[in-house]
Structure 1
């Protein structure tokens, strides 16, 4: 039986299969032009001025049927049929790819826009809904005495190789404080290099080891089958898949597109937007705390215009010898079964997928990346490729010249995977499954990638004068200066020690306390306004620049007026002057003050005279007076002296009690020493018994 034909198809698929390419490396902010593979928005606000990829290749295979341990495979005695772990199910799947990024480069048009040109070669295989028992039966040598039956039902096989030449454009859509958003679009011209596919509907195969009698007691096996099989291919596959050569297929072209957006949360945005610099000034740094990317890739198809597709009814019985005589799948279908329909091949659909990428900056140079790829194409349609749904969590160390990643993930149908990779300047190499291959006894996926590039990194912006303003935005890059003056030091035009930015009189020397202006003397009194309490009125310096007041309006300034609140005369230093007439009046009143005989007590009838005296004294509040007591000559001289003193003191006390300041009065007793009349007569002695109130001059 030509089991090798079908087995070859399956093993070819196992050789190179499609899931995410460059696992781990694409999470790196220094992946450069490779970023377009997962999201075209990656190339703007990049850590590169330009990035040139020379060549890079990524190969992946995954399945849910066959598992091995890498160490066992490397053993010379390892046999794939005998030593591998097989997990046959009614619906086994194989899926994978080879992805070669050829000469490609990206560069920045300006700080907000970037572009990339790329070339890419890809091969993808899908085998879906295959009954595992079918594969085992085809892989094993037939026992001529052993029957078997396969109920395959429906199955789908697709293989395609194509080249891409494309352009990517990315731009910044929003850069506002802590929020940053960029978007990108890739347009691709597709050239088919070969396509083959097959699908079956309600397929059943029954092998009877001795079902056909050849005569003479000899028998051979018979193959009874039913169902329908579609088989299509491009014109460069003339005989069978094992004769498939990659070449440009005439008329096999198409167009594809990738679309992506990336949002960055930048809580520390203020540290990148100080001194007139903006975040784009620091393109050599990652500025986000959290980055979220969403993209849609491989939208499109290739139409193999000259390809063919046929539908065969495989219902019937074929003996094993006749089956073995056929050389190719086409010969088996054409010579042994009935072709019911033929025509042009079905358009091949790209493996469209949705990608979500979340990157968390945990600490300086340490990141944690979550990436998931979700296929948007069906696994139950003819001539359709698809990616394997997967999710990877990748911790990484990332720096300018070196990065290291260790992706851990789950791949649909292939289970858990654990890998490692690194980038060292122009070299990148890694695998998303190398560690699980080394450690697991039943690894069902394998991948590897490697490549070389020429990276040209963004440089740290220069700031020669250390003023926080990068040279390209600094009008005076060699002199320290503030952003308000475009990085130049403020001048001091008038040389007064106050810089022009703070000098309200930049062309006239002044004082720092007056904002660089000279002090004025508004009222022209030679007292500067800063020291002048009355800047609008001329006044002497001794009164802080204010004119002296004359509160009592007597023409004598308060500074010279001994009685500033009471009008007075110049002769009396501004105080009211006690005239001779007033003095006479005081003494006229004083003469009416009567005492009890031989005593110092004032008689009640003297009160009126004392009140009049108080009124006069209040009119001259700053004048001082003496209260003088006198007696006649009757009695001893000593007695008369004491009596005069007591009477003078009694009058003073009365006046003080009525509100006259005691400091203005002095009580003096003269006894009988100053008579004003003769003591020989009664009338004269009465005149001598008196009190006088005299002004102290």
Structure 2
């Protein structure tokens, strides 16, 4: 008796209904006719001419009592009773869902409308308010006796078939804003239902209490509480041989809308309505869908609903189990308090919010929320669990891959994976977490086959943006205005004659096909001549150079811009040049170096600063920095030392603000003495640095 009760409870408690079938796959723009499951608006403006589903099934399962590691569970010697983690509470809940999409197809009625016909079989089991201590008592292998104590437990099992028709159309396509909507109407055929509601139920089972004589004993069942037991009329007949219920049908509806934000709408529009060549592409940056599904119920008109008071002691287990079915056992041993015919089972009505972000044509991120609109306490209704899923995916025409990350009501986080490869789709919303978590309480899997017929890519052999069937010159690129044929280019300037203001003269696009003029005759075209009415030079952007003092030396070369000078003196008067040179020579004589080195002594910094002030007074002048030595030492060494000293001075000047282009450093070594090297004084005069004005 204990094992039978435990098996019944485990079959029902092992699974917790998930919120959405085909996790991950339904986020794919290439899911096709499956789109009607979550939002009927999905079937219009799709990537398919038609999509035919052959068969597909999605099975979900999880629970909030037992937790396992699926990888460990596959190993030899794994003990479910000993190694599974348990999470008992006074309100453990459970359910199971199988969702099979049978033959189904969708096709386009027009550019802006589509329909889908589909068949679907579904089954739900919901069990609520299970006391975890009852499961623990049934799972105790140390004794066959057990006590089950429940307050307000209820359980519902329901299976039905659907035949549906969905219609969707585009409401508006206004530049970057796109809106479509859809509606599904479904005929429902009930395939069976049963529900049990218990109030303050206790069951005390003693395995060997009743002596039947001859050494044979059996268990006794003592129970208390009230029980409502409802089922379709054919449920318990003929040793559980299945018969389809009579008079058990109903109708339901789904409806939804989808908004798309298309910031790059210019890439997908044309003035010619016949040039609709973008059906094969996703055009949105952001897509948001909102839908409500499964609004309706199945009416079991011949269903049986009975209430029992199950207060009774020492019911013979042998006699209880000899009854043909559970209903017959209730009728025999317990008091019937009420009976009725007919009941309705509500479908798992739910709200779905979906947002899909496109990073590019291949990579997407999907956020999906499924929220039950059915109360947890509603006894005659199936219910989904609330869930939020975040699914990154790679998507292309023939292949997609997804990795859904979900948080489920009462069950926490899970991670899965799925793929679509042409006609095949398969996946799971929990396969990764199932093999990595030691407390996994959910499992699901789906798979199926379909025949996809994708939207074709219009042929455009010349790639001019006009599809071949509308192109008068399909092998030559041309504009829409000329029906796809190229305009002529008489002057061969790269600008078509229809927009060339000078079709007989070669010109530029910037000047509308006409050549640029040269008004001042300086051989610099007006479009690049900063002074188109004054002849100038190319170096000065077509403008003439200034000569402020009128001495024939342009300001750019004139060291003395405001004083009349000569060309030989760089635009300066002779006395100015002589004064400048003398000043520099006087300063240069006191630039001192460390003996035998190119490093400048610190006491020379002050005179170098004064040299900088002089150079800044003549910003257009250029100078040589010349290094000289005496004849002591080898010629090569002296040459190298003089060059290093000249560059040391130049580097100091540049570092302190003098433009390096104004300075030329050169070392002459011992070649240019100004005194005899025979004596000490003469050699001292020869060890020098000179700064000289370069005359042009």
- Alignment TM class, shorter chain as reference: 0.5 to 0.7
Question: Higher mean Cα deviation, 158-167 or 201-210?
Answer: 201-210
Preserved contact between residue 460 and residue 474 of structure 2 (Cα < 8 Å) = yes
Cα gap change, 1:215/1:269 in structure 2, threshold over 3 Å: closer, same or farther? Answer: same
CA contact (8 A) 2:67 2:441 kept: yes
Contact map agreement 2:236 2:325 (CA 8 A) in 1: no
Change (3 A) 1:141 1:262: same
* Bigger mean CA deviation after superposition, 59-68 or 314-323: 314-323
Match of 1:456 in 2: 453
DSSP 3-state at the match of 1:162:
strand
Once the two structures are superposed, residues 53-78 of structure 1 have per-residue CA deviations (whole angstroms, 9 ceiling, x without a partner) of 11111100121011111122212433
Q: Which residue of 1 aligns with 2:96?
A: 96
| Partner in structure 1 of residue 283 of structure 2 | 287
Show the counterpart of 1:258: 254
TM-score for both structures, normalised by structure 2: 0.66
Question: Is the partner of 2:343 in helix, strand or coil?
Answer: coil
TM-score of the two chains, using structure 1 as the length reference: 0.66
Residues of 2 paired with 1:218 and 1:511: CA distance? 119
Return the match for 1:432 from 413, 416, 429: 429
CA distance in 1, matches of 2:207, 2:56: 50
Aligned counterpart, 2:34: 34
1:402 to 380, 399, 404: 399
Matching residue of 1:332: 329
Distance 2:91 2:275 in 1: 53
User: 1:12 Cα shift?
Assistant: 5.0
Report the CA distance shift for 1:135/1:473 in structure 2 as closer, same or farther (over 3 A).
farther
**Paired residue for 1:51?**
51
Return 225-234 or 165-174, whichever deviates more.
225-234
Are 1:87 and 2:87 counterparts? yes
Please state if 1:390 is matched with 2:384.
Answer: no
Structure 1 stretches lacking a partner, 5+ long: 493-497, 505-509, 514-697
Matches within 5 A, 1:503-522: none
2:411 match? 414
Q: Using the TM superposition, give the Cα deviation of residue 445 of structure 1 relative to its aligned residue in structure 2, in angstroms.
A: 0.5
For 2:302, what is the secondary structure of its paired residue?
coil
Q: Where in structure 2 are the equivalents of 1:180-191 lying within 5 Å?
A: 180-191=178-189
The whole-number CA distance in structure 2 between the counterparts of 1:189 and 1:434 is 34
1:108 maps to 108
Matched residues in 2 for 1:473 and 1:140: separation? 78
The answer to whether residue 172 in structure 2 is matched with residue 174 in structure 1 is yes
Task: Return the alpha-carbon distance in structure 2 between the equivalents of residues 353 and 328 of structure 1.
Answer: 35
1:390 CA drift (Å): 0.9
Tell me: CA distance 1:282–1:404, structure 2 relative to 1, closer, same or farther (3 Å): same
Measured at CA, do residues 236 and 298 of structure 1 come closer, stay the same or move farther in structure 2, by a change above 3 Å? same
> Paired residue for 1:374?
371
**Greater displacement, 101-110 / 198-207:** 198-207
C-alpha deviation, 1:489, in angstroms: 5.2
Contact 2:12 2:127 in 1 (8 A): no
1:105-161, CA deviations, whole angstroms, 9 ceiling, x for partnerless residues?
Answer: 1111111111111111111111111112222333445826x6x54431111211111
The 8 Å contact of residues 19 and 96 in structure 1, kept in 2 or not, is answered as: no
CA–CA separation in structure 1 for the residues paired with 2:314 and 2:236: 24
Shift in Å, 1:249: 2.3
Looking at CA atoms only, which structure, 1 or 2, has the larger radius of gyration?
1
> Which of 318, 322, 332 is 2:314 aligned to?
318
Query: Is the CA contact (8 Å cut-off) linking 1:2 and 1:323 kept in structure 2?
Result: no
**Cα displacement (A) at 1:404:** 0.5
CA–CA distance in 1 between the matches of 2:9 and 2:289? 37
Residues 216 and 21 (structure 1), Cα distance of their counterparts in 2 relative to 1, 3 Å cut = closer
1:83/1:261 CA distance change after superposition, 3 Å: same
Q: How does 1:252-651 map to 2 (within 5 A)?
A: 252-274=248-270, 276=272, 281-319=277-315, 321=317, 323=320, 325-326=322-323, 328-474=325-471, 477-488=474-485
Superposition CA RMSD, Å: 3.3
Deviation at 1:499, TM superposition (A): 9.1
Q: Deviations over 1:212-251 (max 9, x none)?
A: 79899999765443321111111231159x9373x53221
1:70 aligns with 2:67: no
Q: Distance in 1 between matches of 2:6 and 2:380?
A: 18
Contact preservation (8 Å) 1:431, 1:449: yes
Q: Distance in 2 between matches of 1:5 and 1:218?
A: 22
Q: Which residue of 1 aligns with 2:134?
A: 134
Deviation, 1:20, is 1.1
CA distance in 1 between partners of 2:321 and 2:121 (Å): 37
Specify whether residues 104 and 215 from structure 1 end up closer, same or farther in structure 2 by C-alpha distance, changes over 3 A only. Answer: closer
Flag the 1:314–1:194 CA change in 2: closer, same or farther, 3 A: same
The answer to whether residue 192 in structure 2 is matched with residue 194 in structure 1 is yes
After superposition, the Cα gap between the structure-2 partners of 1:340 and 1:10, relative to the gap in structure 1 and judged at 3 Å, is farther
* Cα shift readout 1:407-450 (whole Å, capped 9, x = no counterpart): 11112233211111111111111111111111111110000011
Q: How many angstroms apart in 2 are the aligned matches of 1:288 and 1:151?
A: 56
Q: CA deviation at 1:482?
A: 2.7
Q: 1:475 to 1:195 in 2, by over 3 A?
A: farther
Q: Distance in 2 between matches of 1:500 and 1:81?
A: 87
Q: Does the CA contact (< 8 Å) of 1:7 and 1:139 recur in 2?
A: no
